[in-house]
Amino acid sequence: MVIPDPEGFEEATLQFERYRERLLATEAPTLDTLLGHLPTSDCDLLRKGSAPTYNHYTKVSVLRAGRELGVSREVMAQAVEGYRTNVGAVLDPNGPEMKALVKKVEQGLSAVDSKQTTVDFSRPQQLGEFDARPDINSFLMLMTIKVNQAGAEATVPMLASVSFVRVNERLIYVYGFRRYKSAADMETLKQFATKWTSSIVAANRPRN
């Protein structure tokens, strides 16, 4: 499987252990993180020993229980429909899935940053499906993330694109995250996700 870097981004988990630790700490309990990207400008900051902005970053994950399972288009369609049907319950802050995620994120970030950390994802706002093609289905949501680290509080509105992508008969989850400042960021993230997922499918297409 080939995952090309998005334009202007670098795969960062192999370059920066701290970033890798942060992605792993915030991953859902049922998923495995494959890789993650940061803009080259953020990578340059890390190379200089400075903190990245985290204004835009990515993650690619796979269902831990299904890493070796072959996935047909029919099976992918069922997975996408299950997401459409159940995403509200999964993201319910009082539901078991979200409670398990929050607990894992709090424990992980507390360990990575050596500071007691609590998080509140609030209730994500579903912004609809924006890309539906063979082997690709993408959705957009808006989250308000509230973080308290050792008494220092921050609130960050964050857009997230969630893409189901089928490559080499495997299903991967491709995420884009972008700090929300204006409505223009929605279109920017949708265009980013559409271009990147297209490049992933194209890179894995059989060549004659």
Could you report the per-residue pLDDT of 7-64, keeping only the tens digit for each? 999 999 999 998 899 888 888 888 999 999 999 999 999 999 998 999 999 999 999 8
Give residue 191's pLDDT band: very low, low, confident or very high (50, 70, 90): very high
What pLDDT, on the 0 to 100 scale, is given for residue 94?
79
Residue 86 lies in a domain: yes
Residue 4 lies in a domain: no
Residue 208 lies in a domain: no
Phi-psi region of 93 (alpha: psi -120 to 50; beta: other; left: phi over 0): alpha
What pLDDT, on the 0 to 100 scale, is given for residue 123?
73
Helices within the chain (DSSP H only)? 17-25, 40-47, 73-90, 96-113, 184-203
pTM value is 0.90
Cα separation, 36 vs 24, in Å, equals 10
Residue 29 lies in a domain: yes
What pLDDT, on the 0 to 100 scale, is given for residue 105?
86
What pLDDT, on the 0 to 100 scale, is given for residue 11?
97
CB atoms near residue 90 (< 10 Å): 15
Instruction: Give me the residue label for tokens 């495995």.
Output: 32
Q: State the total domains in the chain.
A: 1
List all residues 6 or more positions away from 194 whose beta carbon is below 8 Å from its beta carbon.
130, 131, 138
Residue 166 lies in a domain: yes
Please report, as a single letter, which amino acid is at residue 86: N
| Nearest CA-CA partner of 141 in 152, 125, 156 | 125
CB atoms near residue 37 (< 10 Å): 24
- Per-residue model confidence as pLDDT tens digits over 88-137: 777 777 788 888 888 888 888 888 888 898 888 777 888 999 999 989 99
What pLDDT, on the 0 to 100 scale, is given for residue 98?
80
What pLDDT, on the 0 to 100 scale, is given for residue 27?
87
Q: Find the domain containing 137 and state its range.
A: 9-203
List all residues 6 or more positions away from 49 whose beta carbon is below 8 Å from its beta carbon.
none
Token code pair at residue 169: 């008969």
Backbone dihedral angles phi then psi of residue 85, each to the nearest 5 degrees: -75, -35
List all residues 6 or more positions away from 34 whose beta carbon is below 8 Å from its beta carbon.
3, 60, 61, 62, 172
Render 113-169 in DSSP notation, one character per residue.
HTS-EEEE---PEEEEEEEEETTEEEEEEEEEEEEEETTEEEEEEEEEEEEEEEETT
What pLDDT, on the 0 to 100 scale, is given for residue 45?
96
What pLDDT, on the 0 to 100 scale, is given for residue 208?
56
What pLDDT, on the 0 to 100 scale, is given for residue 25?
87
- Per-residue model confidence as pLDDT tens digits over 75-97: 999 999 998 988 877 777 778 88
